[in-house]
């Protein structure tokens, strides 16, 4: 393997490791919820604030992490983000007050949010256009696998909830020096240094200038509604299963299969988008997600529910990966991390809205069927917005991301 092929492989491998740790830390609070509740004497409302503090931190982290990276470099911001969420994940294990816990979770979320747009940008810029979706999907498969690892650690250390945060904090602190030594900065970013328009490019111009308004708004719409459903499932799936009469161990099994399906969907989403007609991939993925959600609502036995849980994880993560692969080519290099970061931030708004909306629907007495039915209009809007991106500039039948590439202004 020559140097030109080793560099992309090294970038994707290191970004996969960071994504694995990110997935672990994203679900750490959920897997340690029982221990947190007992140690800090939290009622359900206050525990919800602990969860929300981390999610709220994701939004400004994603936006500003991308914006700053377009100015000083993807690698620098990614390493800083990894150190940030590692330090505050570790501190979560040692805080002794509710205020300290809320601050630690917010700062962890800030670092996690800043990492993702730079992981996407680095992987997208490390490979050629025809392998962009594949590279992003391999990297992002680490997130659901990290979530499954968090659940496993919580099971192994069920009496010591702090262990989850110690492991989730030490791992990024150990990986950061490795990234400093081995992770290459994006060649595309290096070539943009000294670009005459970079310093003058405002955030508004980056997102909406040069005829990018339609692309940006379509991405935001797709990200918002897809992430709404994803985080609703991450937060509420066990509770919805319990409401349907399943036991806690059965709900835990379905949740694990949901994460494993997500890992497979992550890889398949990017592979299919690189090799098949993009519009057909979007239609298939979102139709599959709607069918899988119906399966969750209608299944009455453990085996059908386990299959439905695996399928809904597969399709919701595949949908997310399609969107993550569509965003980078929609923006020129000099504003790419800003564009991706803004889209991820809008998705984080959905991640806050989804659990809240599900709670309100359940409180109104609509039940599991009502929650799942309420997701359908948003998912159809997300699919239509993604299709509009792919259909903009390329005739039907052209595979992969070429439509978005043709629509995007050149670097």
Residue 134, SS3?
Answer: helix
Give domain limits for the chain. Answer: 1-186, 200-411
Task: Summarize pLDDT for 331-384 with one digit per residue, the tens.
Answer: 887 888 888 888 888 888 887 777 777 777 777 777 777 878 888 899 999 999
Residue 193, SS3?
Answer: coil
> In this structure, are residues 275 and 399 in contact, taking their beta carbons and an 8 Å threshold?
yes
> What is the token pair recorded at 318?
């595949």
CB atoms within 10 A of CB 331: 29
pLDDT score at 402: 45
DSSP assignment of 305-367 equals: HHHHHHHHHHHHHHHHHHHHHHSGGGS-GGGHHHHHHHHHHHHHHHHHHHHHHHHHHHHTT-H
Task: Summarize pLDDT for 211-243 with one digit per residue, the tens.
Answer: 788 888 999 999 999 988 887 887 677 777 877
Fold (topology level) of 1-186: Growth Hormone; Chain: A; (1.20.1250)
Helix axes 132-140 and 142-156, enclosed angle (nearest 10): 10
pLDDT score at 328: 86
pLDDT score at 310: 94
pLDDT score at 296: 85
How far separated are the first and last CA of the chain, in Å rounded? 29
Q: How far apart are CA 137 and CA 165, in angstroms?
A: 26
pLDDT score at 4: 57
With CA atoms as reference, report the closest residue to 405 among 271, 270, 218, 215: 215
Domain 200-411 has CATH 1.20.1250.20: yes
> In this structure, are residues 108 and 172 in contact, taking their beta carbons and an 8 Å threshold?
no
- Blockwise average pLDDT, block size 10, the chain, 411 residues: 69 94 87 83 78 85 87 91 96 93 94 92 84 86 85 82 93 94 84 58 75 88 90 75 80 82 85 85 93 87 90 92 86 83 86 77 76 87 91 50 44 42
pLDDT score at 395: 44
Task: Check for a shared fold between 1-186 and 200-411.
Answer: yes
> In this structure, are residues 406 and 390 in contact, taking their beta carbons and an 8 Å threshold?
no
Phi/psi-derived region of residue 354, left when phi > 0, alpha when psi is between -120 and 50, beta in every other case: alpha
Q: How far apart are CA 133 and CA 322, in angstroms?
A: 8
Q: How far apart are CA 29 and CA 37, in angstroms?
A: 11
């Amino acid at each position: 393997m020559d140097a030109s092929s080793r560099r992309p492989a090294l970038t994707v491998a290191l970004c996969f490791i960071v994504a694995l740790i990110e997935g672990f830390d994203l679900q750490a609070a959920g897997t340690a919820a029982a221990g947190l509740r007992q140690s800090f004497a939290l009622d359900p409302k206050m525990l919800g604030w602990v969860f929300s503090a981390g999610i709220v931190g994701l939004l400004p982290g994603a936006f500003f992490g991308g914006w700053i990276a377009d100015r000083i470099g993807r690698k620098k911001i990614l390493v800083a983000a990894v150190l940030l969420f590692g330090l505050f994940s570790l501190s979560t294990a040692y805080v002794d007050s509710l205020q300290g816990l809320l601050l630690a979770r917010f700062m962890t979320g800030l670092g996690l949010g800043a990492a993702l747009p730079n992981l996407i940008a680095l992987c997208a810029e490390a490979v050629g256009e025809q392998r962009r979706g594949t590279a992003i999907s391999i990297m992002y498969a680490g997130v659901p696998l990290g979530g499954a690892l968090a659940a496993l650690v919580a099971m192994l250390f069920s009496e010591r909830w702090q262990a989850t945060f110690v492991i989730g904090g030490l791992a990024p602190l150990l990986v950061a020096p490795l990234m400093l030594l081995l992770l290459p900065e994006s060649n595309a970013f290096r070539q943009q240094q000294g670009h005459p328009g970079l310093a003058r490019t405002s955030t508004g111009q980056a997102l909406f200038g040069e005829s990018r308004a339609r692309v940006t708004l379509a991405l935001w719409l797709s990200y918002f509604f897809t992430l709404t459903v994803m985080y609703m499932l991450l937060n509420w799936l066990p509770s919805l299963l319990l409401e349907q009469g399943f036991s806690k161990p059965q709900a835990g099994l379905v949740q694990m299969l949901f994460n494993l399906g997500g890992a497979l969907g992550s890889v398949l989403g990017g592979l299919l988008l690189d090799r098949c007609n993009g519009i057909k991939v979007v239609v298939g993925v979102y139709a599959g997600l709607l069918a899988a959600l119906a399966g969750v609502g209608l299944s009455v036995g453990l085996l059908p529910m386990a299959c439905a849980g695996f399928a809904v994880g597969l399709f919701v993560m595949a949908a997310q990966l399609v969107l993550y692969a569509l965003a980078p080519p929609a923006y020129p290099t000099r504003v790419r991390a800003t564009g991706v970061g803004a889209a991820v931030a809008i998705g984080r708004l959905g991640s806050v809205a989804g659990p809240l909306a599900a709670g309100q629907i359940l409180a109104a007495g609509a039940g599991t069927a009502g929650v799942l039915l309420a997701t359908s209009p948003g998912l159809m809007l997300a699919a239509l917005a993604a299709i509009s991106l792919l259909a903009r500039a390329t005739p039907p039948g052209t595979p992969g991301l070429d439509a978005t590439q043709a629509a995007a202004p050149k670097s």
